[in-house]
Amino acid sequence: VSIAALIPAAGSGSRLGQGPKAYVEVGGLSLLARSVAALRAHVDEVIVALPDGLALPPGLSARCICGGVTRQESVSRLLDATAAEIVLIHDAARPFVPPEVVQAVLAAATQHGAATAALPVADTLVAQHPDGERGALWGQLTSREGLWAVQTPQGFDRALLLEAHRQAAQAGIQATDDAGLVARLGLSVALVPGDARLFKVTTPGDLALARALAPVWDSLVLESR
């Protein structure tokens, strides 16, 4: 079967404050270059959704399209840009992608139609008081039992994900990931063990962490060649 890696990279990076996030460098390589390189070997084609007016950095083995106003719209456009049977969706903002996770997500997506990398929630979860200032903890605690923090890559039968996007658009639903759109149709999404290093670079603190990890990660990758 044909497989496409679809990379939404059209975010503005407003929480990071360093310009369009996919172009931010970590250890000498942009977040986008790291994501493309990590997925390239597993798929037949790579397509990236970029911010309007920006070009693909030189040297990347990928095609690009113009992204949308929301992540969901960027993914929807990416889905229209490929004819592959299986699609692997991966946030450009997650630069460290273990090959075992990619393989496990692809295997589960091929078998079940939909799969996502995810980690069991390790922290205690609390709700902030609805009308209190930030930091005011509400009396109500949510059990972390059975809760998972969803990451990418996520893998899907393309026809299935297209249908999930079509129905979400029709219902006016905006979700932060694609597995959620499939799940709301009542279909099951396989949970595949993710990796702590698949964290999303969102805040300046995450960027500092990514810059500290990059040399270690790169030496591991070189060693495994």
Residues that bind ligand C5P (CB under 6 A): 8-11, 21-22, 49, 67-71, 74, 91-93, 176, 200, 202
Q: How far is the CB of 139 from ligand C5P (least distance, A)?
A: 30
| C-alpha to C-alpha distance for 197 and 209, rounded to whole angstroms | 10
CB closer to ligand C5P, 107 vs 209? 209
| Paired residues of 190 in beta bridges | 115
Q: What is the identity of the amino acid at 170?
A: Q
- 95, two tokens: 């630069």
Q: Are 47 and 82 in contact (CB under 8 A)?
A: yes
CB closer to ligand C5P, 111 vs 176? 176
Q: How far is the CB of 24 from ligand C5P (least distance, A)?
A: 11
| Paired residues of 142 in beta bridges | 125
CB closer to ligand C5P, 14 vs 170? 14
CB closer to ligand C5P, 91 vs 157? 91
Q: How far is the CB of 154 from ligand C5P (least distance, A)?
A: 12
| C-alpha to C-alpha distance for 118 and 75, rounded to whole angstroms | 19
Q: How far is the CB of 174 from ligand C5P (least distance, A)?
A: 11
CB closer to ligand C5P, 49 vs 79? 49
Q: How far is the CB of 131 from ligand C5P (least distance, A)?
A: 26
CB burial readout 34-72, b (16+ within 10 A) else e: bbbbbbeebbebbbbbbbeebebbeebebebbebbeebb
